[in-house]
Amino acid sequence: MGVCRLLLLTALFLLTYTVSADPDMLQDLCVADLSSRNSLSLSLYFFMRSVRVNGFTCKANITADDFFFAGIGNPGLTNNSMGALVTGANVQRIPGLNTLGVSLARIDYAPGGLNPPHTHPRATEVVFVLEGQLDVGFITTANVLISKTIKQGDVFAFPKGLVHFQKNNGMVPAAVISAFNSQLPGTQSIATTLFAATPPVPDNVLAKAFMVGTEEVQEVKSRFAPKS
């Protein structure tokens, strides 16, 4: 009975762990000390190097500004190669979000702009269209594309961890507000992750995965190389 009970408790723990988002907070607030390494004493710093914190340590002195960010009220600049810009409002911009399990972002798209295929390993995403029209979609683990055209006032959800994208196929700019159930959802852009990793993913691995030659892989990698 002891072994069976232990197995049951282990299964319940794993189930709870895998379906939850960020861990629940155990106090009213825990404002992130984003400069904790700089403020530690020397002896404490060397001790902390062997201890990993899942998130950020809490700071003692807090202000209203720790819960404030004015950076997503205005459109972002979209004059880049993708014609889109993501402005995050997460714990790195709002330290007061530490342990709260939520964050926002604003995404702006020029006409033809693309937020390329990517994943958020730690969060489900919900977008609300501020202006314009977007073609959006995500791909399930069975390789099924779920896609739709959304317009101003519409809401669309992208399940946690699944590859998804947004594309402005219109003639005018578009913008959305994104909400996440994580203080720091993380983003892995598929192309950048594969072709601009450091150290690089071996050419022969990518060539076999994409069923192309190593020359084609090197050509794509060159496009992601930092501009000198």
pLDDT at 105 over 70: yes
**Residue 28 pLDDT:** 82
Q: Is 118 annotated as a binding residue?
A: yes
115 has binding-site annotation: yes
Q: By CB neighbour count within 10 A (0-12 exposed, 13-18 middle, 19+ buried), where does 124 fall?
A: middle
In the prediction, which pLDDT does 40 show? Answer: 44
What's the pLDDT score for residue 52? Answer: 61
> In which element (H, E) is residue 89 found?
strand 84-89
> pLDDT tens digit string along 156-214?
999 999 999 999 999 999 999 999 999 999 999 999 999 999 999 999 999 999 999 99
pLDDT at position 66 is 97
Contact 111, 172 (CB under 8 A): yes
d(CA 131, CA 154): 10
For the stretch 111-122, pLDDT in tens is 999 999 999 999
Prior bond of 199 cis (ω within 30°): yes
Name the H helices within 35-126.
36-39, 42-48
The pLDDT of residue 130 is: 97
Average of per-residue pLDDT across 74-92: 96
Contact present, 67 and 32 (Cβ < 8 Å): no
Identify the CATH assignment for 65-186 out of 1.10.3720.10, 3.90.1170.50, 2.60.120.10, 3.40.50.300.
2.60.120.10
- pLDDT value at residue 38: 44
Q: Mind listing the pLDDT tens digit for each residue in 160-175?
A: 999 999 999 999 999 9
Euclidean distance between the first and the last CA atom of the chain, given in angstroms as a whole number:
66
Domain extents in the chain: 65-186, 196-224
Query: Is 120 labelled as part of a ligand binding site?
Result: yes
Contact 136, 127 (CB under 8 A): yes
Torsion of CA 199, 204, 209, 213, to 10 degrees: 120
Of residues 17 and 154, the one with the higher pLDDT is 154
pTM summary value: 0.82
**Residue 123 pLDDT exceeds 50:** yes
Instruction: Summarize the confidence of residues 74-86 as an average pLDDT.
Output: 96
pLDDT band at 39 (very low <50, low <70, confident <90, very high): very low
* Cα–Cα dist 10/17, whole Å: 10
Closest CA to 112 of 135, 87, 137: 135
